[in-house]
Structure 1
Amino acid sequence: MLREALFLVVLCLVAWIGFDALEGQRDEARRERDSAKWEASGLREAARISGEMLAERDAIDQRNTKELTDARTENERLRRAVDDGTRRLRIRATCPASGSLPTATGPGRVADAGTAELAPDARPDYHTLRDQHALSRQMILGLQQYVRGVCQRLPASQDTTFPNFNERTTP
């Protein structure tokens, strides 16, 4: 009988140790599950924010590309109008006052003939400058909008999801 009781006590002790080990494994599995849920939630939020940032970037790009296309179309329309003579390219200029002209030229003077105009060989340069100005303007505006709309929207707690995101690696 003592043997049976001792066997029963040992069996209960082994069962108790086994259940304790299983309980520890269960707790560890729960911690891992909770950690995975938290990480998945963080990744979903990061994906949502990334999607919004990409959509904002695409909207900025589309808007600025349209404005640039419109500016270039207008410039091309102006170029054709100047080339075919329906419009003139005028420049703002003033003629010097009569007292500032050298008197060595004599009494004969030419009256102001009208508004100053670009020479024909300078007109393509003018249109090229207009194109480059429109391109530069849209690039600068697009970058400013990108910084305001996308870069400054980065979440303040991004280091909790991506711990190495802010670290710079030097090559």
Structure 2
Amino acid sequence: MTISPFKAALFGMLIAALVPLYWFIRLVDQRDDALEDLRDLNTEVVGLRQAIRISGEMLAERDAIDQRNTKELTDARTENERLRRAVGDGTGRLYVSATCPASGAVSATAGTPRVADAGRAELAADARQDYFTLRDQLALSRQMIVGLQQYALDVCRRSPALSTNPLPNLNK
């Protein structure tokens, strides 16, 4: 059985038309895949920019907390040093709130001579230094605790790790 030249030419033209059509369809599919990848990457870029912005805000907030607490600690230590110098050079005094109970071990009827009220009780000279050291340590501990509380409340609560993942394609 022979094929007429007209049918052969028609068959050849059909094949010649289908091959470019196949490549065109394949090229359109590749373009669609590339556009989808581009949309995914744009979404990821937006997520990364948001994460960078949030991280920058958190760092700025952390630095503000640190500066504020460092200033408060410096002020407390400066005041403590001023008090220490005043007590040391005698322009200030360090008083202790103390009471002597009237019904103590000493009997009021024993007939022993009594000392008149000598004024307020005061720390001994060697105990004064310890008092000011304790004040310094108390100020430091307080500022550390306050700073950590502020950091936990203001910075850690807004951590991007606690919210939804802004980078959905990161694990792909």
TM-score normalized by the length of structure 2: 0.88
Amino acid in structure 2 at the alignment position of 1:161: L
Looking at structure 2, the residues matched to 105 and 135 of structure 1 have their Cα atoms a distance apart, in angstroms, of: 50
For residues 105 and 85 of structure 1, do their structure 2 counterparts lie closer, same or farther at Cα, with a shift above 3 Å needed? farther
Q: Secondary structure at the match of 1:150?
A: helix
1:112 Cα deviation (Å)?
2.3
Matching residue of 2:106: 102
Quick check: which has more Rg, 1 or 2?
2
What are structure 2's unaligned runs of at least 5 residues? 1-5
Task: Check 1:105–1:58 CA distance in 2 against 1; reply closer, same or farther (3 A cut).
Answer: farther
Stretches (4+) displaced over 2 A: 1-4, 99-107, 154-164
Specify the alignment match of 2:52 in structure 1. 47
Task: Let me know the Cα RMSD of the aligned residues.
Answer: 1.9
Is residue 70 from structure 1 mapped to residue 68 from structure 2 by the alignment?
no
CA contact (8 A) 2:66 2:147 kept: yes
The aligned residue for residue 18 of structure 2 is: 13
Match in the other structure for 1:91: 96
The number of aligned residues is: 163
Instruction: Tell me: higher relative CO, structure 1 or 2? Use CA pairs within 8 A at least 6 residues apart.
Output: 2
Within 5 Å, which residues of 2 pair with 1:1-171? 1-97=6-102, 99-103=103-107, 106-155=111-160, 156-161=162-167
Instruction: Give CA deviations for 1:91-142 in whole Å, capped at 9, x if unaligned.
Output: 1100111x32333965222222111111000111111100000000000110
User: Quick one: percent identity of the two aligned structures?
Assistant: 59
Q: How far apart are 1:27 and its partner, in Å?
A: 1.0
Matched to 1:29, the amino acid is A
Given the superposition, is the C-alpha separation of residues 95 and 11 from structure 1 closer, same or farther in structure 2, using an over 3 Å criterion?
A: same
Structure 1 stretch 147-156 or stretch 52-61: which is displaced more?
A: 147-156
CA offsets, 1:35-77, max 9 Å, x none?
Answer: 0000000000000100110010000000000000000000000
